[in-house]
Amino acid sequence: MMSVVQEFTKGLWKEIPPFRLVLGLCPTLAVTTAGKNGVGMGLATTFVLVCSNILISLLRNIIPNKVRIAAFIVVIASFVVIVELVMQAYFYPLYKILGIFIPLIVVNCIILGRAEAFASKNSVLPSIADGLGMGFGFTISLTVLGSIREIIGNGTLFGTSVMWSSFEPFAIMLKPPGAFLCLGLILGLMNLISSRQKGH
């Protein structure tokens, strides 16, 4: 039981993607123009990650080693199509905003990375814990990054105004340069925090 809890919590801080495991950067940078989009993208990725982890862990003794990557991609792509259709039907505005990055969940290296590094070697329960942990970690990261960019770039947080009235939004934060700068500085901050922790 302890190990399952550990598999879950490692994704939330110790190996939180994409701040610690620098994978899956494209959706991280592209959709985080607002906190809300970060949550949407994070949850969509979590769903695909958990489902593909379950299926791959169940099939791990059946899939031949040589074609495993191709098999993983087919499994992941099937779940991405499900997410795509569900979002088109029930969350159309969000589907429009996330756009091309929903089909691109297929090539999100976090999902393939977890399939290869974890689900193909472990049984179902730890795989679910691993998928949930990594997925929630990813969601938290995206929400944090999206919120920072929304506050500085637009003066709002989840759509409500949070800055003082004379605040001039830095529109650059919503554009690509802002995304790269912001993520770069957060990575630096994470390094600083972890080196402080080691110091004690």
Q: Choose between 59 and 73: whose C-beta lies nearer to another protein.
A: 73
CB of 134 to another protein, least distance (A): 16
Per-residue x/- mask for another protein, residues 26 to 55, rule CB under 8 A? Answer: x--xx-------------------------
Residue from the set 11, 17, 24, 35 that interacts with another protein by CB under 8 A: 24
Query: Which of 138, 142, 135, 139 lies closest to 49 in space, CA to CA?
Result: 135
Residue from the set 5, 117, 162, 172 that interacts with another protein by CB under 8 A: 172
Residue from the set 58, 86, 117, 185 that interacts with another protein by CB under 8 A: 185
Cβ proximity of 165 and 90 under 8 Å: no
155: left (phi over 0), alpha (psi -120 to 50) or beta: left
Please give the DSSP secondary-structure letter assigned to residue 34: S
The token duo for 128 is 């679910």
Q: What's the rounded Cα separation, in Å, for the pair 91 and 8?
A: 28
The per-type count for the chain, helices as H runs and strands as E runs, is 8, 2
Q: Choose between 34 and 183: whose C-beta lies nearer to another protein.
A: 183
CB of 166 to another protein, least distance (A): 26
Query: Which of 167, 164, 162, 132 lies closest to 147 in space, CA to CA?
Result: 162
Does 125 help bind another protein (rule: CB under 8 A)? Answer: no
Does 100 help bind another protein (rule: CB under 8 A)? Answer: yes
SS3 160: strand
Does 162 help bind another protein (rule: CB under 8 A)? Answer: no
Number of neighbours of residue 37 by Cβ within 10 angstroms: 22
Does 74 help bind another protein (rule: CB under 8 A)? Answer: yes
Residue 185 Cα distances to 14, 40, 52, 127, 192, angstroms: 18, 23, 32, 32, 10
> Which region among 3-11, 45-53, 100-108, 143-151 touches another protein (by CB under 8 A)?
100-108
> Which region among 37-45, 120-128, 135-143, 188-196 touches another protein (by CB under 8 A)?
188-196
Q: What's the rounded Cα separation, in Å, for the pair 160 and 189?
A: 27
| Chain contacts with another protein (rule: CB under 8 A) | 22-26, 29-30, 69-70, 73-74, 77-78, 80-81, 84-85, 100, 103-104, 106-109, 112, 172, 175-181, 183-185, 187-189, 191-192, 195
